[in-house]
């Protein structure tokens, strides 16, 4: 039988500190990523070009249109207005992370389908994320609450988006 070697703790003088890891970490849709590039990189392009998560859409680069809305620690934010460097250890959720890991839809996504709220569809990921933020704050939103979202829809699907938000809100309240 082979004698197993007993590992001795080395003397303190020989312990080297772990090298400092480059970059910073953030969590996107529940997965942890390390970014070692330029910290001034806008989150929108980090998501789209680095992680290839293209759900957040480019629309204006000025925070005007809302097409790139994502959740940062649960609150709506325009991905074009945030740099990756500001997001260390933050949790970012994009439309790809809105449904459950098993693929079942978020009540908002289901309501969007039920109300046929998609026309061209390009703004809809942003609309959905802004609505997710709203419903987290206001489980029974008024028309004025919905109006304050302000995300543009070039096709003019506003009435259906409004109905879908209310439908999802009711479904979420009913589910407790």
Partner 1 sequence: MTDTLWLSRRRFLKVMAGTAGALVVGIGSARADAPPVPLVLLGDTWSQVGPYLRVDADGRIFIGARDPDNGEGTATSLPRLIAEELDADWTRVVVMPLGLGVEDGNGEPRWLYGRQRSGQGDSIPTAWTDMRQAGALARSMLLQAAAQRLGVAAGQLRVENGTVIAPDGRRVTYGQLAEAASQLPVPDTVPRVKTPDRFHLIGQPVGDVDAHAVVTGKLIYAIDAADGDTMVAVLSRCPYPGGTLDTVDTGDTLKVKGVLQVIQLQPEAGQGLGMTALAPAVAVLAEDTWSALEGRKKLKLSWKPGSHPIPTLSDLEKQAQVSFDSPDALVTVLRDDGDAVGLLKKKGARRIDATYVQPWIAHAVAEPLSCTVRVDPDTSAVVTTASQAPRDAYTIVQRMTGLRASQIRIDVPRGGGAFGRRLLHDHLAEAMIIAMAEKPEPLRNRTIKVMWTRDEDLAHDAWRAPTIHRMSATIDQRKGITGWVQNMASPNRDLPAPARPWMSELVQDALPAGLVSNFRSNWYALDTPVPRGEWRGTPHLSHAFASESFIDEIANALKANPLDVRLRLLGEPRQLPYRGPGGPTVDTGRLVNVLRQVADRIGWQRWLHSETGLGLACYYVNGGYVAHAIEVVNKGNGQIDVIRAVCAVDVGQPVNPLGLEAQVMGGTFDALSTAMNLSITFRDGQVQQKNFHDYPIANAAQMPNDVEVIIVPSNAAPAGASVLAMPTAAPALANAVFRATAVRVRRLPLLREVARLS
Q: Which is nearer to partner 1, 38 or 73 (CB)?
A: 38
We find the least distance from the C-beta atom of residue 158 to partner 1, in angstroms, to be 4
Query: Considering just the CA atoms, what is the radius of gyration of the chain in Å?
Result: 22
User: Please, which residue, 90 or 109, has the CB nearer to partner 1?
Assistant: 109
Interface segment toward partner 1; rule CB under 8 A; list 2-10, 19-27, 93-101, 132-140: 93-101
Torsion of Cα atoms, 105 then 107 then 110 then 116, to 10°: -150
Least CB distance to partner 1 at residue 148 (A): 7
Q: Report, in Å, the least distance between residue 38 CB and partner 1.
A: 7
With CB under 8 A as the contact rule, which of the stretches 2-10, 14-22, 46-54, 134-142 interacts with partner 1? 46-54
DSSP 100: -
Is 73 a binder of partner 1 (CB under 8 A)? Answer: no
3-state percent helix, strand, coil for the chain, nearest multiple of 5 = 35, 15, 50
The label of the residue with tokens 């543009």 reads 152
CA dist list (Å): 46 to 34, 40, 69, 122: 11, 10, 14, 19
103 backbone φψ class: left, alpha, beta (φ>0; ψ -120 to 50): left
Stretch that binds partner 1, among 3-11, 19-27, 116-124, 167-175 (CB under 8 A): 116-124
Rounded to 10 degrees, the C-alpha dihedral 154/159/161/166 comes to 160
Complex with partner 1: residue 90 or 157, whichever CB lies closer: 157
Q: Which residues bind partner 1 (CB under 8 A)?
A: 38, 41-42, 45, 48-50, 52-62, 64-65, 67, 94-96, 98-99, 105, 108-109, 112-114, 116-125, 128, 143, 146-162
């Amino acid at each position: 039988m082979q004698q197993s070697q007993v590992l001795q703790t080395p003397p303190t003088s020989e312990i080297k500190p772990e090298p400092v890891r480059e970059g910073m970490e953030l969590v996107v849709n529940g997965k942890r990523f390390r970014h070692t590039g330029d910290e001034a990189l806008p989150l929108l392009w980090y998501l789209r070009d680095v992680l290839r998560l293209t759900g957040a859409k480019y629309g204006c680069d000025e925070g005007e249109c809302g097409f790139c809305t994502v959740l940062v620690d649960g609150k709506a934010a325009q991905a074009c207005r945030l740099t990756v460097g500001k997001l260390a250890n933050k949790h970012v959720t994009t439309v790809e992370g809105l449904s459950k890991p098993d693929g079942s839809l978020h009540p908002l996504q289901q309501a969007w389908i039920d109300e046929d709220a998609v026309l061209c569809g390009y703004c809809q990921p942003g609309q959905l994320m802004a609505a997710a933020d709203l419903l987290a704050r206001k489980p029974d939103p008024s028309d004025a609450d919905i109006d304050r979202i302000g995300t543009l829809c070039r096709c003019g699907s506003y009435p259906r988006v409004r109905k879908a938000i209310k439908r999802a809100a009711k479904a979420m309240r009913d589910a407790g």
